[in-house]
Amino acid sequence: MPDTVRRLVVIVLFEGVDLLDVTGPPEVFSLAQRQSDGAAGYRVVLAAETTDPVTTAAGVRVLPDLTFPEAVAAGGIDTLVVPGSVELDAERRAYALADPVLVDWVKALAARARRVASVCVGAHILAAAGLLDGKRATTHWSTAAQLAAQHPAVEVDADPVFIRQGEVWTGAGISACLDLSLALVADDLGEALALRVARELVMYLKRPGGQSQFSVPLEQVATTRRIEDLRHHILRQIARPLTIAALAEYAHVSERHLTRLFRAELGMTPHAYVESLRVEQARHALETSDATLERIASACGFGTTDTLVRAFRRRLDTTPTDYRRRFRAPAGG
């Protein structure tokens, strides 16, 4: 690895690793190279214990570029990317893996790197290496409780898409590897280039790190056709008054039965679900438009800006104005 490489990115490779965790970041860095006419200076290599092909969780075999000892000896690593892997228990619950030998190599590689980033459940490997002690970190929501239980010195926050703590970054799962990689590019080369890369990927131009891993329409999965149809109805009519009485009439059930259905299917009341969805819509408008708060409040069904502000404080512990200031995509992006 020549000394002239300005931004050497080393991605850790091991048996059973999640495929997208490995292939997603290189695509982002490659597009950054193209969008900057090569000035980005990224070079991505895959490192493993040996140079034998590695079989990913998807069954696709990937060929490492160099071994862990070679990467440690060479040094000069700008970014170390640590993906993860899981196994399922008897009840089909995900359990993140952190092989002790791999953990030791990650610890050695991290000592040679300017910054370290975990993808999805790769946070469990960083935590096992002691790299997250005293830090706030995220991971895939399905293994967040495991991470918190096994590593009490880590402040686990399962909600954000990614979290930065100094030069240690952690990302949620699995497609969030693209959001995390875009954030790394933005940190290196600026928002404008990162947004051009996002456009090439046909991605949402800026999904902020503080944004939830979930969007309300996708987070909750209904098992009955009636509730699923009602959820789509709410989304279509989000700007209009959506009282429990009106929703019950649409669903042809009593108000009491509607409330029971929502609690059983979605774990919340109809009012809470509608408010969550409206907040989600308002967040998107604040991130992607210059619309006034009055207009956003009206379009999302809040009616008044005071109602919008109260909902943001209740659900996000911030105000719409502060949220826009933090997460609004730059003009011209």
Q: Which domains does the chain have, with CATH numbers?
A: 7-200 (3.40.50.880), 216-327 (1.10.10.60)
* CA dihedral of 269, 273, 274, 277, whole degrees rounded to 10: 170
Strand partners, 241: none
Q: What CA–CA distance (Å, rounded) separates 321 from 323?
A: 5
pLDDT value for 211: 54
- In this structure, the number of other CB atoms found within 10 A of the CB of residue 253 comes to 16
Radius of gyration of the chain (CA): 22
Task: Please state the rounded mean pLDDT for residues 41-65.
Answer: 97
Q: Write b or e for each residue in 277-290: b if 16 or more Cβ atoms lie within 10 A of its Cβ, otherwise e.
A: bbbbbbbebbbeee
- The band of 161, judged by pLDDT with boundaries at 50, 70 and 90, is confident
Residue 267: pLDDT over 90: no
Of 31-35, 96-100, 189-193, 271-275, least confident by mean pLDDT is 189-193
At 224, give phi and psi (nearest 5°): -115, 145
**Overall pTM > 0.75:** no
Q: Would you state the structure tokens that stand for residue 306, as one six-digit string? A: 């005071």
pLDDT value for 218: 42
Residue 5: pLDDT over 50: no
Name the residue among 123, 135, 114 with its Cα closest to residue 184: 114
pLDDT value for 205: 41
- Given a contact cutoff of 8 angstroms between Cβ atoms, the answer to whether 24 and 176 are in contact is no
DSSP assignment string, 4-55: T-SEEEEEE--TT--HHHHHHHHHHHHHHHHHTTTTT-EEEEEEESSSS-EE
Residue 160: pLDDT over 60: yes
Q: How far is CA 231 from the centre of its chain?
A: 24
Task: Please state the rounded mean pLDDT for residues 181-196.
Answer: 88
Of 82-91, 156-165, 211-220, 256-265, least confident by mean pLDDT is 211-220
The residues, ordered by sequence, that sit 6+ positions from 188 with a Cβ below 8 Å of its Cβ are 7, 40
pLDDT value for 23: 95
At 241, give phi and psi (nearest 5°): -60, 130
Name the residue among 66, 72, 61, 59 with its Cα closest to residue 44: 66
pLDDT value for 224: 62
Task: Please state the rounded mean pLDDT for residues 41-70.
Answer: 97
Of 63-72, 87-96, 98-107, least confident by mean pLDDT is 87-96
Mean per-residue pLDDT of the chain: 87
- Given a contact cutoff of 8 angstroms between Cβ atoms, the answer to whether 83 and 10 are in contact is no
Residue 310: pLDDT over 80: yes
Please tell me which of 51-55, 190-194, 258-262, 269-273 the model is most confident about, judged by mean pLDDT: 51-55
CA distances from 252 to 183, 234, 246 (A): 47, 15, 10
- The band of 137, judged by pLDDT with boundaries at 50, 70 and 90, is very high
Task: Please state the rounded mean pLDDT for residues 252-260.
Answer: 92
Strand partners, 82: 118
Name the residue among 277, 279, 281, 309 with its Cα closest to residue 293: 309
Residue 220: pLDDT over 60: no
At residue 112, the 3 state secondary structure works out as coil
CA distances from 21 to 26, 140, 159, 326 (A): 10, 12, 19, 27
- The band of 75, judged by pLDDT with boundaries at 50, 70 and 90, is confident
Name the residue among 132, 130, 173, 180 with its Cα closest to residue 27: 180
Strand partners, 265: none
Task: Please state the rounded mean pLDDT for residues 264-292.
Answer: 89
Task: Please state the rounded mean pLDDT for residues 98-106.
Answer: 97
